[in-house]
Amino acid sequence: MKTKSKQPIDTMDPHSSWRFYLVLGLCLSLFAGLAVRAAWIQVLDNDFLKSQGKSRTVRNQVIESHRGVITDRNGIELASSIPVKSLWVNPTRLFKEKTKYPDLFETTAWAQLASILEMSVSDLTHWVEKRQTRKFVWLKRQLEPTHSAIIRRLKIPGINLETESKRYYPTAEVSAHIVGFTDIDDRGIEGIEKAFDDQLQGENGRRIILKDRRGNPIEQVNILETAQSGDNLTLSIDIRIQTSAYKSLKAAVKRYRAKAGSVVVLDIDTGEVLAMVNQPSYNPNNRKNRVVSAMRNRAITDVFEPGSTIKPLTAISALSSGKYRSNSIIDTSPGLIRVGGRWVRDGKNNGSISVSDVIKKSSNVGVTRIALSLSDEEFLESFYKVGFGVDNSTGFPGETSGHLNIRKNWSAIEKATLSFGYGLDVSALQLAKAYSIIGGLGKDRPISLLKVQAPVIANQVIEPYIARQVIGMMEQVVSTTGTGKKAQVAGYRISGKTGTARKAVAGGYGDEYFALFAGVAPVRNPRVAIVVMIDDPQGEDYYGGDVAAPVFAEVMEQVLRTLNIAPDAIGGKQFTVASLEGAR
C-alpha cells in the first residue's frame, strides 16, 4: 500500500511577515541615521565639537613675568621679587559643594580658614554668601608661607592658592626713600620703583595647557607668547655709604630730638648720588605700619631756606664781577648795618675784614655790603648758574625746583637777606649740587640716581680760579678757629660752610631752626660733596656748626675711606696749593 509523501509546511505566518520587515527597516534606518550622524559629526560639524571639547579641557594661561631687580652700584640687591601664595575662592563651586555637605561652614577646617584670615566664622560665611554667584574672588593676597601651607592641607572645595610675586627690600628703611616700594599688584608707587616703573615691569606671556575635569593642569600644549622679565636697574648709591650716612643721621636726630633730617652725598666727578637718607624713615616690607609723613624723600621733595651755606655763592658773584678779590677789605663795623629800615647784624663787631674772612667768620654785614655793591645781574649770576629755582631733572616723583622768584624792583633788604640765605628755598639735593659745582672747579654735571660711566660731559659755569679761591675760603671755616671746626676729618683737608637758618612762620620767623653744613673734600682734589640738614634740633645746641658739622665729619670720613681716596693732610700739615687768584 503506497503512502503519500508529506508536503513542507510554511511556518511563516502571512500576518506577521510585515512585522519582520518593519523591524528590519527600523534597524536599517537606525543604522543609516547613526551613519549619517557620524558623518555629520566627523565632517560637517567637526569644528564646533572640537571647540566644545577644547572649551572644557584647553585653557589659555598667563605666564607671569618678573619685575626687574634693583641693585646698588656694586650689585648689592636693594629690591627683588620673591614667589608667594595668594588665596582666592570660587563661591559658585563652594556653594555647589555645600548642597552635598550642608555643614561645610561649620567644620573645623572652615574655622581654621577664618582664623588665618583674621575673621570670625560668621563674618567669613556672610562674606562668601554675598558673592555666591561669582567664580573668582580674592580672599587674601600674599600670604605668609606657614599660612599657605595650612590652607593647602585644609582641602576646602572652592578655596584655591595662586602663585604671585611679592617685592622684597633687603636693606629696608636704610634705602626706603630712594628705592620706594610697589603696591600689592607690583606697580611702583614711590621712589625709584615709581620713577622707572615702565622699565622695571615685565610683559606677561601666554601658553595653552590641558586641564582635567577638576581643573588641574595636566599638560602644556604650546607657548603663545614668551614672558619678558623687567629690566634690572643699577643705582648710583653705594649701600656701604648709604648705611653709614643713615646711622649717623638717625643718631643725630635722636640725640637732638629733631623733627627730621636729610643727608645727601654726591660724587663730584660724575654727578652720581652716592647716598641719600632721611629721618624719619620706614620699612617698605611692612605695609601695615607705614606712616605717610615718613615716606617722603625730604632730600628731594622738601625745601628750606639755606641760611649761611649760601654765602660762598655771594663770594663767587663778588669775584666774578671783577670788583673784588679774596683779600679785598670789607668794613663790617660796628657789627650791624641798616638796610631799608631794617637792621642786619653780626654776632660781634668783626671790624674791617677780607672777603675771605667774611666767609670764615660768616659775617652777615660783610655779604650784605658786597651784595648791595653789585648790580642785580652780577649778584644773581652765581645763583642761576648752580641751578637754583630749577629742578635737577632726576625724574624722581615729587622732585621740587625750589623757589628763587626775584621780583622786578625788589627792595634792598630783599637783596641783602638773599646774600646770607633768606628769601629763597632749596632742597638738600639742590644745595649739594651747588657745592659739587664749586668742588668741581665750576663744572656742572647732571645729577644721576643711576650708575653712570665716567667721564661725564660737564658744562663750565664758574671760572675754575674763582671756584678754587672760594674752596680755600671755606677751608678756613673748618679750621680750628672757624665756625665749622667740628667738620674736620683726620688726615684730610675739608672745605665747607655752616648754616643756621630760622624757620619761617606766618608773619615772619619763629624760634625753630634748620641746622646745616655743606662741604667738599679733599681740598687738594675735591671728589665728594655732602650736605647735612637737621630740622629743628632741641636744646641749647642748635647751630649748624654744633649739630650738622659732626654728622658731616662722620659721613665724610666713611665716604673717603670707602672710596679709597688718599689723604691730603699728613702729620697735621696740609698740602699747599698754588693760588690761582688773578690767573685766567
* N-to-C CA span, the chain: 166
For residues 497 and 515, the answer to whether their CB atoms sit within 8 Å is no
CA 151 to chain centre: 34
Query: What angle, 0 to 180 degrees and rounded to 10, lies between the N-to-C axes of helices 145-154 and 108-116?
Result: 160
Contacts of 222 (CB under 8 A, 6+ apart): 207, 208
Q: Residues 10, 14, 18, 24: what is their CA dihedral angle, to the nearest 10 degrees?
A: -10
As a whole number of angstroms, the distance between CA 90 and CA 86 comes to 14
CA 319 to chain centre: 40
Residues annotated catalytic, as ranges: 308
Closest to 497 measured CA to CA, from 522, 513, 479: 479
Closest to 533 measured CA to CA, from 490, 500, 560: 500
For residue 88, what are the β-bridge partners? 138, 160
Output the furthest CA–CA distance in the chain (Å, rounded).
Answer: 180
As a whole number of angstroms, the distance between CA 550 and CA 537 comes to 14
Count CB atoms within 10 A of the CB of residue 346.
Answer: 20
Burial class (CB in 10 A: 0-12, 13-18, 19+), 63: middle
Cell numbers linked to 390: 630749577
Q: Residues 403, 405, 411, 412: what is their CA dihedral angle, to the nearest 10 degrees?
A: 60
At position 402, the amino acid (one-letter code) is: G
As a whole number of angstroms, the distance between CA 448 and CA 393 comes to 9
Paired sense of beta strands 459-460 and 443-444, if any: antiparallel
Query: What angle, 0 to 180 degrees and rounded to 10, lies between the N-to-C axes of helices 364-373 and 412-419?
Result: 130
List strand residue ranges (DSSP E) for 483-572, in order: 495-505, 508-521, 528-535, 569-570
As a whole number of angstroms, the distance between CA 462 and CA 469 comes to 12
Query: What angle, 0 to 180 degrees and rounded to 10, lies between the N-to-C axes of helices 464-477 and 428-439?
Result: 110
As a whole number of angstroms, the distance between CA 501 and CA 542 comes to 10
For residues 91 and 134, the answer to whether their CB atoms sit within 8 Å is yes
Residue whose C-alpha cell is 614667589:
83
